[in-house]
Amino acid sequence: MMNQDKKLLKKIEQKKKKRKELEIVGTSGLEENLKAISDALDEYYFTEKLKTYCAHLSYTKIINKKAIKYKMIDFRLINSILHVIDIFEFSNPVIYFYNEIRKLYENIDENDDHELIKFDKLLSGIKNYSLRLSIEDAEELLSFLANFCVRKLNENKKEYLNRYFLISNLLLNIRFNTKTGKSIKIPPNVFKNMVVTALKIADELDFSTIETVGIIPDNPSGFSDAYEWVEKFIDSFKKNLDKKGFDNYYPYCSALLEFKRGNYIKAYRTLYEKRKGTRGVFINLDIKTLFLRILFEIYITKPQILEYDEIDIEKTFDTLRSLLRDEASRKKQLSYQLKFYTDFADLYKKLYKFFNRYTLAYKKKNSLFEKEKNQLLSEIENTKYSYKKWFLQKVKSIK
């Protein structure tokens, strides 16, 4: 299917061709045709200019405003274009979609009580119209909404988590529901994010209603839960990963699924060989933090496994600290993302120390135990990251 850019350019050429035909036969209607050419030019220019402006808003509101080298004033005529778009109706729904995306981003810092309603209405409109768009155009529109969700999730607006997953699933269906879908590569980060997000909303979303290209549930009525969906997703799309993605992201996602299921030994065996030497943007940190959580679960249930494999939790933890120092020196511009891992390391060290002190060393609890436990619980409560629930469960289980 032709994308919007080519479609609108073709429309301009058709209007120009029509004018030449009218000139040749000397018929009336030349004035009306001039207006048609002007309208077609406006439709093309406004669409492209609005799309570019939305990309600008996405960068400044999502990534880092200080990293942008240009200013709003560099978007010449954009205010006039927005004024015209707000006053006059265009027959092209894509202009409406981009204009609504523009409004969402411009007001992203406001406390709009109707923001979620506007978002859902826009998502529904794009979803219903997506079959009439090229893959490229549909992906671009939905990606703006996905990025909006990311910003809101960074602000701990959890109501956008389900929406982020549904948009990601829709993007997956659009991209892979083609004749060449089997040969398309899936970015490793997309593969991981689909798994991580699905597991986060395991208790909130009815997965029996989820339809994903290339995945068939065991029961015709739908997936029994998020775990079945994730298992099928991993098995189906692992073949679409490149070699690096398969070597690193596939074992991480498989281990995370087993960890969430409570199959700690299986998760441990899955990550055992990947606990060191992994390279990639943050996947090395993801593997190490997950492996440490798995080690703690085995340490409190079957420590003999760690003894047999000669796995030392403190040494493993030290490698995480070293890696964090290295990453921090190389990725200063991503320090806000590294905080996710540095906070994890701080809490993990305190949890491990607290467990050993009051479970192995001092089995008899006292007032100091309760005081330290409450202090640790309070510190964990203040974190906004996804591992918060796991830390709370582990500390509360120490009695």
**The predicted structure's pLDDT at residue 298:** 96
Report the pLDDT value the prediction gives residue 42, as an integer from 0 to 100. 76
The predicted structure's pLDDT at residue 105: 93
What Cα–Cα distance (Å) separates residue 115 from each residue in 94, 101, 147, 394? Answer: 20, 11, 15, 37
For residue 49, the model assigns a pLDDT of: 84
pLDDT at 30: 47
Q: What is the pLDDT of residue 326?
A: 79
Q: Residue 332: what pLDDT?
A: 54
Strand (E) or helix (H) holding 225: none
**What is residue 372's predicted lDDT score, i.e. its pLDDT?**
92
Q: What is the pTM of this model?
A: 0.84
The upper half-sphere exposure of residue 23, i.e. CA atoms within 13 Å in the direction of its Cβ, equals: 8
- Give the pLDDT score at 399: 83
Q: What pLDDT score does 25 carry?
A: 47
Q: Which of 341, 346, 344, 347 is nearest to 326 (CA)?
A: 341
Query: Cα separations (Å) of 117 from 45, 57, 58, 135?
Result: 30, 21, 20, 26
Residues of the chain with pLDDT under 70: 1-2, 4-5, 7-33, 63-72, 178-183, 275-281, 328-336, 361-365
Q: What is the pLDDT of residue 333?
A: 47
Q: 109 CB contacts (<8 Å, ≥6 apart)?
A: 61
